[in-house]
Amino acid sequence: MNYTLNCNGQLLDLSTPRVMGIVNVTPDSFYAGSRVQTEHAIARRTEEILEQGGDIIDVGACSTRPGSEPVGEQEEAERLRLALSAIRRVAPDAVVSVDTYRPMLARMAVEEFGAAIINDVGDPSTFNGQRSMANAQCSMLNGQWSMFRMVSRLRVPYIYMSRRPTVSDILIDCAEAVESLRSLGQKDIVVDPGFGFGKTLEDNYLVMSQLERLKMLNLPILVALSRKSMIYRLLDSRQEEALTGTIALNTVALMKGASILRVHDVREAVETVRVVAATVSQPPQNGT
């Protein structure tokens, strides 16, 4: 299916998959090579993403990796203001996504800086110290209601990420979240299966092997695989050596219906999209 996202009044066509480039303004992001914290570095990273063909700039100011300790809301707000100001200075018309689970910061990013998308992976502290995934998920959904209400008022596309371990559970989780969002009037919704969140190494690859099942939701699918531990642990290597594995998994994800790739390495992802698009667009030969 072909999808579009209404980004500040302009339709972002997803008939060809889009690349979302990551801007991390945290000192503790899991991939050190992605961290930028000065105005100059943020501006340069923004220009790099756009020069390399990225379609969306995704800004994160609070690490949400498993086991991380989130910073306070005021500190996250200060980091976001620094980053969004720098981005808007060099790319006033860019489609900007903000990676936050805090409703008031989503509002600030949209109303003050024209952010077009909210990318919400949920509050990481919800999952720290929980005795069961079921309790954690229940607590997280209760907390996300405020974000659901906020994005529905802001009328911006919303990315919902699931921490469930299997495709069947992800489908149920996302269907419940989508029902809640639709009841509030939310229009544009993107689903993220949450690679690396709430899943074992084996779970991650099983979800990838069945990724096409998520198309049952009739929503765009975002995959965020870039240099994650599921790659370098499998290959017994390091994050710095995980680019080849990232390209391989992004290729599989595109073949299985992904609409957005969230990546650190933008040029390589853009080229992957072009190669896969050329492959799947070829008509059958000799009557086959």
Comparing C-alpha atoms, which of 53, 33, 90, 82 is closest to residue 264? 33
Comparing C-alpha atoms, which of 139, 107, 146, 134 is closest to residue 124? 139
DSSP for 11-63, please give it: EEE-SS-EEEEEEE--TT-SSGGGB--SHHHHHHHHHHHHHTT-SEEEEE-S-
Token pair in block for residue 66: 């498993």
Identity of residue 137 = Q
Catalytic residue among 88, 102, 164, 262: 262
Catalytic residue among 18, 199, 227, 228: 228
Alpha-carbon gap, residue 150 to 170, rounded angstroms: 23
- Annotated active-site residue 107? The verdict is no
Q: At what angle do helices 266-280 and 243-255 cross, to 10 degrees?
A: 30
- Annotated active-site residue 199? The verdict is no
**Which residues are known to be catalytic?**
228, 262
